[in-house]
Structures are given as C-alpha cells and as structure tokens.
Amino acid sequence: MVQKGRQVGKKIGFPTCNIDIKDYVLAKPGVYAVRVLRKNNLKF
C-alpha cells in the first residue's frame, strides 16, 4: 500500500513512492529506478 511521505523528492524534482513493506524483504540501501507499465490508458 502506498503511503504519504515527507514530499522531499518531489521538492527537488524526483517524485517517489513510499510503500508499506511489512510483508516484503527490505532492499539494500541505495537509489533505485523503476519502470511501471499499465494495462489501460488512464490519464491523470
């Protein structure tokens, strides 16, 4: 589930996604880039 963060990345031009990780394995510290693909063409 996505959670609201402190909006720090957005302020410097890099919006991020904060995800509740209680049921996941933690990734190693660092900066990660991802690509998200959607099945529909919704516009926001």
Of the two residues 5 and 1, the one the predictor is more confident about is: 5
- Domain limits at 43? 1-44
Which run of H or of E encompasses 28? none
Query: What is the predicted pLDDT for the residue at 24?
Result: 73
Which run of H or of E encompasses 36? none
What is the average pLDDT across 9-16?
A: 80
For the chain, what is the domain count? 1
What's the rounded Cα separation, in Å, for the pair 43 and 24? 29
Question: Which tens digit of pLDDT belongs to each residue from 14-44?
Answer: 777 777 777 777 778 888 888 877 677 665 5
